[in-house]
Each structure stands twice: as C-alpha cells, then as structure tokens.
C-alpha cells in the first residue's frame, strides 16, 4: 500500500457536542504520525466545491470543550445527488462524486475520514465502493447508528434532556399541571426513554411503542388517584400519533422535519383530563453547548483510532465502541439498519417496574 501523507477530514449531518474533540484528536494523532490533515468545509458540499483547510496544532488548540464543529457541517449535501447549475442557469441534481474524488486527488488526500450518522456513513460507503480510502466515525445525538454501543453526542444531549425534565418537575408540582417535554431522536426513542428514566418522567412516548391518548389519560388519572397531582410526559419527536402518522413538515430541502408532537399531546391530554397542560420543546438545545466528559473522551478515542486505521490500511470501515474496546466494523454493518429501542428490552422493563407508563 502506498504511504498516505494527507488525510481529508469532514463532519457531516447535524452538529453535536464532541465534533471538535474528534477534529482535535485526528489532527494531533495524524501529525504525530507524519501525516497532514485537510479539514473539509461544510461537510460533503465542501468536498465537491474543493474547500479544504490545512489543520495544524494551533488550529485545534483549545477546541476540546467547544460544541459544534469548526469545520462547519451540512445535512443536505450528497455528492451523489448534488445540485448543479447548467448552462441555462437551471439547477439540476447530478452525480458529482467524480468531482469530489478529483478534488481529493488535487490536494493529495489519500484517505477520507468521515464523521457523521447513518446518512453520512451511507455516503461514505458509496465512496468506498468507488475505491476511495474511507474511514467512518459514528456521531449522532439520536444514538441510532448500528454496530456501536453508543455514538458520541448522545450523552451530552441526554444530559440536556434530563436537566430539562428535572426542572419541569418543580413547576409541574407547584401548579398541579401536566408538563410535556418534547425531545429529539428522529425515529428512535433513546433520548426520550433514558432522560425519562434519569429524570423520573411519569409517561414516556417513543416511536417503538404505540400509544393512545386514552392510555395516557388513564395513567394520569391513576396518578391522581394515588394523590399525585402532576405528571411529566417525555415524548420523542418521531413518536407516531395513534393513527400512525408522525407530526412535522417538509422543509425547503425536501426532507421531513419532525416536531410538534408535544403540543398535540398536551392539547389532547388537557381535553381528556381537564388538567392544565403545558409543553416544552427542547429542539436544538440538545445539539448545542459543551460536550460532556464522556463524549469528549469517546470522541478522542474514535479520532485516534480512525488515524490508526488509516495507518493500517483498514478502509471501508467505521470505528465503533464495543465496550470496553474501540474496534473496526464494516461500514455496511453500520448502516444496514437503524438502532431502535427494543420495546421488550431491559430498559423498558426497568422503566415499567418503577411505574413509568408508555401510553399503551
């Protein structure tokens, strides 16, 4: 195998705490092994546009505790379906992967490290099939990526959600209200379930367990019968309504944006129980802020391991946590399915055992 002198590094998909920790660890580990790192600006779009920045020690100094990503990111750009302008000024969706590969060759990048979730890693796999030396790093607050025990970003988002549930308790109890907290997670319920357990949520609504509004109302009435005048409901943004439909809207990008289920639940609960209900939507608060110590450490381990995989020629693979080790897994294994909460799994069983209801 030819020696690799330069690595291209990009962050794709939604931002989350810990991305800068990855950028820092990849850069530092690569420099200590005689390689340079070229940061790709704004995800895969920067790869197509040829936007590279040489990263040195000074560039990554002090970024470990910072949220977001100094490279920028995008969850819209796919080089295999990229908007390009033709001679008439019309915008057409075309396969621009060959342009991205040529740009890498022009700057001498012999390998590409891709940090992101399932969509980003699926694109990484497509590049691998074209012969690009790709290594993936799993990142998503949703924790829905297969082949790894956990993704970095999740723990920080979970802390944000748990803190919110903790704080909602006091105001809910003071006013004898129902407080609905809507959290992220797309089509998986990890943030909702685990923040519900950690924060003492009374009812948790997740995509993996169908609920009914009558089921929610029944649980609230049961709590009232036991002298509990308030209730906390934690709902995942992707939890379908009883008719099976998710709540959201279509963005200008054409992608479905989930959100609004919390308000719908609050209205239905108040109508059925007569108890004043309020909703709090955490939204992008879960993506922002300082990464937790766990995420900083995991991101650092992932970054160093990704550089080691480049050195060892382990391409077409993703780093993963198989507790307690960091291992290499095929990208195909990482993206073949979404990681969902097992409806009959241990966490759900434990939650039910301490009185948490799921609206079913």
Catalytic residue annotation: 142
Residue with tokens 């490290």: 113
Report the Cα 303 to chain-centroid distance in Å: 17
Q: Residues 150, 190: contact at Cβ < 8 Å?
A: no
Give the closest residue to 171 by CA, choosing from 266, 280, 259.
280
Strand partners, 231: 178
Q: What is the largest CA-CA distance in the chain?
A: 72
φ/ψ bin of 173: left (φ > 0), alpha (ψ from -120 to 50), beta (otherwise)? alpha
Which whole-number Å values give the CA distances from 231 to 79, 200, 202, 304, 356, in the listed order? 47, 10, 6, 45, 11
């Amino acid at each position: 195998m030819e020696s690799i002198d330069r690595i291209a590094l990009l962050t794709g998909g939604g931002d989350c705490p810990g991305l800068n920790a990855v950028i820092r660890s990849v850069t530092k580990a690569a420099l200590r092994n005689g390689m340079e790192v070229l940061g790709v600006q704004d995800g895969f779009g920067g790869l197509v546009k040829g936007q590279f920045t040489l990263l040195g020690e000074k560039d990554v100094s002090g970024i470990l505790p910072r949220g977001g990503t100094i490279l920028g990111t995008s969850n819209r750009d796919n080089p295999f379906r990229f908007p390009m302008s033709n001679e008439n000024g019309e915008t057409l969706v075309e396969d621009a992967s060959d342009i991205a590969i040529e740009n890498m060759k022009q700057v001498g990048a012999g390998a590409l490290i891709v940090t992101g979730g399932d969509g980003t890693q699926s694109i990484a796999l497509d590049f691998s099939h074209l012969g690009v030396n790709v290594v993936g790093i799993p990142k998503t607050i949703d924790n829905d990526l297969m082949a790894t025990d956990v993704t970095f970003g999740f723990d920080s988002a979970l802390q944000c959600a748990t803190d919110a549930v903790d704080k909602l308790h006091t105001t809910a109890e003071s006013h004898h209200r129902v407080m609905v907290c809507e959290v992220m997670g797309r089509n998986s319920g990890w943030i909702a379930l685990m923040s519900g357990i950690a924060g003492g949520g009374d009812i948790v609504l997740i995509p993996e367990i169908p609920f009914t509004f009558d089921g929610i109302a029944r649980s609230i009435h049961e709590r009232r019968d036991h002298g509990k005048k308030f209730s906390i409901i934690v709902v995942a943004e992707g939890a379908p309504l009883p008719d099976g439909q998710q709540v959201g809207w279509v963005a200008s990008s054409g992608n479905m944006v989930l959100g609004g289920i919390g308000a719908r639940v609050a209205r239905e609960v108040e109508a059925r129980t007569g108890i004043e209900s309020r909703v709090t939507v955490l939204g992008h608060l879960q993506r922002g802020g300082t990464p937790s110590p766990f995420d900083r450490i995991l991101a650092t381990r992932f970054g160093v391991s990704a550089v080691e995989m480049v050195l060892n020629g382990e391409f077409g693979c993703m780093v993963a946590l198989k507790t307690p080790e960091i291992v290499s897994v095929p990208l195909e294994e990482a993206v073949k399915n979404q990681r969902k909460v097992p409806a009959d799994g241990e966490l759900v069983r434990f939650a039910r055992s301490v009185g948490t209801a799921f609206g079913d």
